[in-house]
Amino acid sequence: MLGLPLAIAATGAAKSAGRKWPARHIPVYAEEGRFGGWPANYGIWNWGDEIVCGFAAAYFIKTDPERHQRDRNRPKEPRLARSMDGGETWTIENPASLIPTEQGGKAASVLSEPMDFTAPGFAFTLRQSDAVKGHSYFSYSTDRARTWHGPYEFPMFGRKGIDGRTDYQIYGKREALVFTTAAKENGEEGRPFCARTTDGGLTWKLQGWIGPEPRGFAIMPSTVRLPNGRLLCAVREKQDEATDWVELYASDDQGRRWRSLSKPIATSTGKSGNPPSLKRLPDGRLTLTSGYRAKPYGIHATISEDDGKTWSEPIVLRDDGEAWDLGYTRDAVRSDGKIVTVYYWSPGLFKEREIVATIWDPGRRNP
């Protein structure tokens, strides 16, 4: 097993560019004329070494180098990538039950029968609507993401918009917390919050805001629950065009009140940063991965051995990207303790984007 880099201060600031870490990179999806993108917008689920990760299959087009190289006049089609062997090989699926309304799928309705969050093979996804701006909907599966029930309307909570993405914690058969982002008071992006259901999703209440309303944005939460019940939520934050980072918040009352705990990524890249993926390992450590959108472009990680108070120096899983437009990681922990990090990748500025999985060993807890 690999040893860990030394922990650094709670701010997460690093004195160097980071330590290169052994990793293997596995192709997941690449298609001529397509832009494979944004796994963090869709979610990841795993049952042992069976892993399913969502992503978008948009259409590639050469355009402004500061923008995504995709055709905005054509749809971002949902896809699922499934691995049965811990990320070593993948197949691509396109379930009819996940096709959005605007692409010919079912219209969102009101959930009438409660979800059973403890059902074998349960998976839940919360997604934004492209058809109705500011609205989001959810779907669920009880057969390991092969077929889906929905879509169902997710409440607006009196806000001007809900930017639904998949992040949730299950507490029982009918009780769960969902973590997502709402528009700020002025209607701009965005402020994270926690919503709770105790009746299997028939009704939801706004449980608590994750941090104060930001000057810029705070979006795309990624959450874990510790054995003592504490919730830790990593959030992508941006103050202005040159200032972005990842903040870690903690709640000890099931998401009602939150406080800032640390900055796993204290300074990012000036490209609005990249969303974090936070996981808890079987030995109790935390890992956080994210795309790095400055040269050398790549995928980074960091590890905490003290429940998020301090973080290791950056771990460089790869730094061979050819352009800034990459990342949006989602992570799964294999049965052998290795991590499978799924993200979109940039082999060239004016080239199609690919979905890739990086398999890496987080080592062991320091004695």
* CA separation for the pair 137, 42 (Å, rounded): 12
pLDDT bucket at 9, cuts 50 / 70 / 90? very low
Q: What is the pLDDT of residues 259-311, one digit of tens each?
A: 999 999 998 777 889 999 999 999 999 999 999 999 999 999 999 999 999 99
List, for residues 76-126, the tens digit of each pLDDT value. Answer: 999 999 999 999 999 999 999 999 988 999 999 999 999 999 999 999 999
Distance (Å, rounded) from C-alpha 339 to C-alpha 88?
A: 12
Q: Which domain holds residue 179?
A: 19-360
Two structure tokens written together for 364: 């062991």
Contact between 246 and 235 under an 8 Å Cβ cutoff? The reply is yes
**Within a domain: 265:** yes
Whether residue 1 lies inside any domain: the answer is no
Task: Show the DSSP H helices in the chain as ranges.
Answer: none
pLDDT tens-digit readout, 73-85: 999 999 999 999 9
| Strand ranges for 190-310 from DSSP E | 191-197, 205-209, 217-225, 231-240, 243-251, 259-265, 277-280, 286-292, 298-304
Helix (H, G, I), strand (E, B) or coil at 321: coil
On whether residue 194 sits in a domain, the answer given is: yes
Residue 11 has pLDDT above 60, yes or no: no
Query: If DSSP codes are grouped into helix, strand and coil, which group holds residue 72?
Result: coil
Cα 327-331-337 angle, rounded to 5 deg: 140
CATH of the domain at 287: 2.120.10.10
The pTM (predicted TM-score) of the whole model is 0.94
Number of domains in the chain: 1
Whole-Å CA distances, 233 to 83, 100, 168, 318: 27, 28, 11, 25
Specify if 5 maps to a domain. Answer: no
* pLDDT of residue 314 exceeding 60: yes
pLDDT for 17: 65
Model confidence band, residue 48 (pLDDT cutoffs 50, 70, 90)? very high
**What pLDDT, on a 0 to 100 scale, did the predictor assign at position 109?**
96
pLDDT value of position 1: 37
322 alpha-carbon distance from chain centroid: 22
